Structure 1
Amino acid sequence: MKKYTDEFKLECVELITIQGYPVRQAAEAMEVGYSTLQKWVRQYREEQVGITPKASAITNEQKRIQELEKQVKQLESDNNLLKKASAFFAIEMNKGGKSR
């Protein structure tokens, strides 16, 4: 399976959305499958109205949203770990205080 860069995908999509090329003509010119290009155009249009894709984003705004969502998940995970560690150490400190 061929791997395309996000920049290439955006260039292909802009041939259709900005320059007005028909999908089939753009697909042939860029040597991309017709259905693949249709999918990229659909995803691009969804991103333009704020729908974050499950796949790698095409637009810079949606790429940033995906990056921030990933950071939020990591921070939530770190926060949960810290809560568990705090609870553990609180229990250990209480054990130590009772044995004296």
Structure 2
Amino acid sequence: MAEKLKINVVIAGRTYPLSVNNTNEEEGMRKAANAINKLITLYEQNYAVSDKQDVLAMCALQFASKLEISALEKNSTNKEAIEKLNELTNLVNEHLK
């Protein structure tokens, strides 16, 4: 069994020790922490936010909503594709009769 890599990421000025399975996971964690820190800076510059907790909650909402929207769009696209495949299957079946 491969040994986990120990890394530290800094989010909102705090250091968080993490264990990751490989360098891809490490890169993903570091990029995610960087994206969070950039969004924190953006919120602090553009909104009157008095508490880091509020900024972190806003960041969490933004990232979670992007995932949910993406999942909804994917489901919608999948449904459309299945409907079109069913239509094509019906057309082929009609022509084969």
Which of the five TM-score ranges fits, normalised by the shorter chain?
A: 0.3 to 0.5
| Structure with greater Cα Rg | 1
Q: Which has the higher contact order (CA 8 A, sep 6+)?
A: 1
Richer in strand (by share): 2
**TM-score normalised according to structure 1 size:** 0.47
**TM-score normalised according to structure 2 size:** 0.48
